[in-house]
């Protein structure tokens, strides 16, 4: 995931790669920080373990990342 | 239930890799890990494969070295993180933000616009995002992230 100066820069980057602009695929830097904290705050600690699917879903929802783009279940 | 010997070694390798990466801003590689843990190199390589299979870290495609013990990238990238007087790298903006999250420290993150390359910066201070610019974009839907984690 990349950082862009603005929407038109994302449009140009996607267009150059024939990638669709998916709805809900962008985050503000504040959301990015919130997501990074939730995801990585324990990674160096001895008791760290991978989040379960349900924990990851809750974590994404807490950051406001919902909808088809953020669906972790295939199908 | 007691952990198996291979599970115990994987745990030791995980703890060593992430602790060293956090403390030194350098991700240790298999030979260094073997020396530090006083274990044969093939055992360490196998433990790293298990950790990679468990998506704890990412191995380089060809040589079995660690590419990223996420959020810490083993090689310089465009996502540069200055924290605690050291320079770290992330493989993406999410991991770059993950470095101060994992370290629990202040940080300044510098990253180029993915389109035009113009430098941008974000700053984490006292556990909050004190400065941020730009928009973060995910090109890959969540359930396909690990199909090709390098592109994601």
pLDDT of A23 strictly over 90: no
Q: What is the mean pLDDT of residues B34-43?
A: 97
Q: Would you state the pLDDT for residue B140?
A: 82
- CB-CB contact of B13 with B37 (8 Å): yes
ipTM of the complex: 0.94
Lateral strand order in the sheet of B66-69: B58-59, B66-69, B72-73
Quote the CA–CA distance of B19 and B8 in Å, as a whole number.
Answer: 16
Contacts of B135 in chain A (CB under 8 A): 3-7, 10, 26-29
Cβ atoms within 10 Å of B103's Cβ, excluding its own: 25
Does some domain include residue A75? Answer: no
CA distance B28 to B89: 14
A62 occurs within a structural domain = yes
Q: How confident is the model at residue A13 (pLDDT cuts 50, 70, 90)?
A: very high
Task: Please answer whether residues B40 and B81 qualify as being in contact, where contact means their C-beta atoms are separated by less than 8 angstroms.
Answer: no
Chain A interface includes B104 (CB < 8 A): yes
Query: In total, how many domains does chain A have?
Result: 1
Return the bridge partners of B83, or none.
B86
- The reply to whether A40 falls in a domain is yes
CB contacts, 8 Å: A2 with chain B: 92-93, 111, 114, 136-137, 139
- Asked if the Cβ–Cβ distance from A2 to B114 is below 8 Å, we say yes
Containing structural domain, residue A49? 7-70
Please indicate, yes or no, if residue A55 is contained in any of the structural domains: yes
Q: Within a domain: residue A2?
A: no
- Distance from the Cα of residue A44 to its chain's centroid: 21
**Interface probe, candidates A9, A33, A65, chain B, greatest B C-beta count within 10 A:** A33
Tell me the pLDDT tens digit for each residue of B94-107.
999 999 999 999 99
For residues A62 and B138, give the distance between their C-alpha atoms in angstroms, rounded to a whole number. Answer: 18
Structure token pair of residue B57:
């870290």
- Domains by residue range for chain B, with CATH: 5-67 (1.10.10), 73-131 (3.15.10.60)
């Amino acid at each position: 995931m990349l950082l862009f100066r603005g929407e038109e820069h994302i449009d140009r980057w996607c267009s150059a790669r024939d990638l669709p602009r998916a709805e809900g695929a962008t985050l503000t830097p504040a959301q990015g920080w919130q997501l990074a904290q939730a995801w990585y705050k324990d990674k160096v600690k001895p008791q760290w373990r991978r989040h379960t699917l349900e924990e990851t879903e809750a974590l994404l929802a807490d950051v406001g990342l919902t909808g088809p783009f953020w669906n972790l279940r295939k199908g | 239930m007691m952990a198996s010997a291979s599970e115990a070694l994987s745990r030791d390798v995980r703890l060593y890799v992430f602790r060293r990466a956090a403390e030194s801003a350098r991700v240790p590689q298999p030979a260094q890990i073997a020396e530090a843990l006083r274990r044969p190199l093939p055992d360490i390589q196998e433990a790293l494969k298990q950790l990679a299979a468990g998506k704890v870290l990412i191995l380089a495609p060809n040589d079995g070295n660690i590419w990223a013990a996420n959020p810490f990238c083993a090689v310089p990238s465009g996502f540069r993180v200055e924290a605690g007087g050291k320079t770290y790298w992330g493989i993406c903006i999410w991991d770059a933000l993950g470095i101060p999250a994992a370290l629990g420290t202040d940080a300044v993150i510098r990253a180029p616009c993915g389109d035009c390359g113009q430098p941008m910066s974000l700053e984490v201070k006292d556990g909050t995002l004190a400065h941020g610019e730009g928009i973060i974009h995910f090109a890959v839907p969540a359930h396909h992230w690990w199909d090709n984690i390098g592109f994601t």
